[in-house]
Amino acid sequence: MAIKDSQPSQIGNPMKNTWNAVNIVLIASVSAVMGLFAGCGSSGGEAGKGAQQQAQKSAPGGGGGMGGGPRQQGPVPVETAEVAVRPMVDIREFAGTVKAAYTYVISAKVGGRLLSINKRIGDTVAPNESIGRIDDTEFRNAFDEAQTQVRVSRASLEEAKAQLTHTERELERTKGLVSKGIASQSELDAQETQVETQKSRHELAKAQLEQRQVVLSQAKTNFEYTQIRALQGGFVAVRHVDGGTLLSVGSPIITVVGLDTVFVELSVTEKDYQSIKPGKTASVSTDAIPGQTFEGVVYRMAPYFQSASRTATVEIALKNNARLLKPGMFARINIKLNEDGAARVVPSQALVEKDGKYSIFMLGDSATAINIPVQIGINDGTFAQILSPPNLDGKVVTLGQHLLRPGSKVVVPNG
């Protein structure tokens, strides 16, 4: 009887032995790779930590750790200029439109056919000059008839007056006869009634004459209206109708404008309105007449502001003897609003504006910048007048001021 070995035989299963050896090699390889990655990670972490610390040290405001101090900024290069005293003039330019001194339309005052019109656009018109004629046949007949009626009424009045005089004499005679007992009281009463009747007839005739004189005056006026006349002298701007047109009352015939004096109408804001006064001189120029300016004066100022635009209308009066300025032209107006012969000024570029308020940076002791709030007056774009603080003196920063803060260190190249 064979005795069996209780331990498995390693020699008797060669395939199994081969697989065990492979597994051992694989486990060893994986362990080695994991150890390599672990070592690299540790080395990379140390390097990353060092780089981070270096970045914190070099960053603005960094101080070599979590509790680092503020960054030390170097001086800011700036340019400066001295506060100066010089004359300043505030000349403001406005835009406006040329207007005629007056414009009116000659219209038909009576209806009828226009027989003739002797004016065309551009022609001159003299005061009370006849510029055309309306057919006057009907108006002439009405005028003649009214004259006849007045003569009839005047004759009637004379007759009534004579009758009244006669009855008044008869009344006096009857009164004498009654006092002598020759005439009766009834005859006297009848004569008095006759006198009153003649007085009424006389008043009636007088009223009729006055009425017909009014009719005659109206007929004469209508007859004269057939002659179309200008009210004021000027120039024909528009010719609305031609000869032969049937006109009604109010039909426009021509438009006349006055050009000897013209007005330039402009709109000004509330701020500028306070500086403009009647009588101020103004210089006017137009694109249509380049190189030539016209002198005028502020003539009228509207007493109220338009609610939509918050502006008021101002009129500039100009003599236009050469009649170069025409109504409707676009004009530019320069008005001297203010002036100061000894203004304390700084360059306009030195101003720093914030929230509608101005300040400047002055060069202080130890090359530091001092911020000073200022109130400005005249500003022509090159220089700005300093109203407050008064007696300002020293050097003001004109370039680089927007990089400054109060107390900033500055350096003036070549300064």
Last residue of a domain, one of 287, 319, 339: 339
Of the given ranges (58-62, 163-167, 198-202, 370-374), which has the lowest mean pLDDT? 58-62
The mean of the pLDDT values for the chain is 84
What pLDDT does residue 120 have? 95
Same domain assignment for residues 405 and 344: yes
Last residue of a domain, one of 175, 209, 225: 225
What pLDDT does residue 98 have? 97
Whether residue 199 is contained in a domain is answered as yes
Provide mean pLDDT across the span 189-199: 90
Provide mean pLDDT across the span 357-365: 92
In the predicted structure, residue 231 carries a pLDDT above the cut 90: yes
Same domain assignment for residues 221 and 141: yes
In the predicted structure, residue 126 carries a pLDDT above the cut 60: yes
Closest CA to 316 of 102, 101, 104: 101
Same domain assignment for residues 324 and 363: no
Which CATH number characterizes residue 316's domain?
2.40.30.170
In the predicted structure, residue 404 carries a pLDDT above the cut 70: yes
Residue 174 pLDDT grade (very low, low, confident, very high; cuts 50, 70, 90): confident
In the predicted structure, residue 299 carries a pLDDT above the cut 80: yes
The one-letter code for the residue type at 172 is E
- For the stretch 140-154, pLDDT in tens is 999 999 999 999 999
Same domain assignment for residues 380 and 404: yes
What pLDDT does residue 89 have? 92
In the predicted structure, residue 287 carries a pLDDT above the cut 90: yes
Residue 44 pLDDT grade (very low, low, confident, very high; cuts 50, 70, 90): very low
What pLDDT does residue 39 have? 41
Residue 318 pLDDT grade (very low, low, confident, very high; cuts 50, 70, 90): very high
Pairing of strands 311-319, 369-379: unpaired
What pLDDT does residue 6 have? 40
Tokens of 55: 């970045």
Provide mean pLDDT across the span 312-322: 95
Same domain assignment for residues 367 and 318: no
Provide mean pLDDT across the span 34-43: 40
Whether residue 243 is contained in a domain is answered as no
Helix (H) or strand (E) holding 316: strand 311-319
- For the stretch 262-277, pLDDT in tens is 999 999 999 899 999 9
Whether residue 131 is contained in a domain is answered as no
- Beta carbons within 10 angstroms of residue 183's beta carbon: 16
Whether residue 130 is contained in a domain is answered as no
Among positive and negative, which fits the CA dihedral 244, 245, 246, 250? negative
Provide mean pLDDT across the span 303-327: 95
d(CA 357, CA 179): 111
In the predicted structure, residue 365 carries a pLDDT above the cut 90: no
Last residue of a domain, one of 339, 359, 381: 339
What pLDDT does residue 52 have? 40
Whether residue 311 is contained in a domain is answered as yes
Same domain assignment for residues 332 and 364: no
What pLDDT does residue 23 have? 43
Domains identified in the chain, total number: 3
- For the stretch 97-117, pLDDT in tens is 999 999 999 999 999 999 999
Among positive and negative, which fits the CA dihedral 219, 225, 231, 233? negative
What pLDDT does residue 415 have? 61
Whether residue 183 is contained in a domain is answered as yes
In the predicted structure, residue 204 carries a pLDDT above the cut 50: yes
- For the stretch 326-349, pLDDT in tens is 999 999 999 998 899 999 999 999
d(CA 160, CA 167): 11
Residue 73 pLDDT grade (very low, low, confident, very high; cuts 50, 70, 90): low
What pLDDT does residue 218 have? 96
Which CATH number characterizes residue 350's domain?
2.40.420.20
Whether residue 216 is contained in a domain is answered as yes
Residue 177 pLDDT grade (very low, low, confident, very high; cuts 50, 70, 90): confident
Same domain assignment for residues 218 and 271: no
Contact 79, 399 (CB under 8 A): yes
Domain that holds residue 360: 79-88+340-411
Same domain assignment for residues 267 and 313: yes
What pLDDT does residue 115 have? 96
DSSP class of 60: T
Same domain assignment for residues 300 and 365: no
Of the given ranges (119-128, 176-185, 267-276), which has the lowest mean pLDDT? 176-185
Closest CA to 395 of 410, 376, 377, 378: 410
In the predicted structure, residue 26 carries a pLDDT above the cut 70: no
In the predicted structure, residue 10 carries a pLDDT above the cut 80: no
In the predicted structure, residue 64 carries a pLDDT above the cut 70: no
Whether residue 121 is contained in a domain is answered as no
d(CA 184, CA 282): 95
Same domain assignment for residues 293 and 307: yes
Residue appearing with tokens 């002439």: 140
Tokens of 383: 């220089």
Contact 113, 244 (CB under 8 A): yes
In 215-310, the DSSP E strands lie at: 227-229, 234-239, 246-247, 252-269, 281-286, 293-301
Residue 87: asked if its preceding bond is cis (omega within 30°), the reply is: no
pTM of the complete model: 0.62
Same domain assignment for residues 325 and 362: no
Same domain assignment for residues 348 and 373: yes
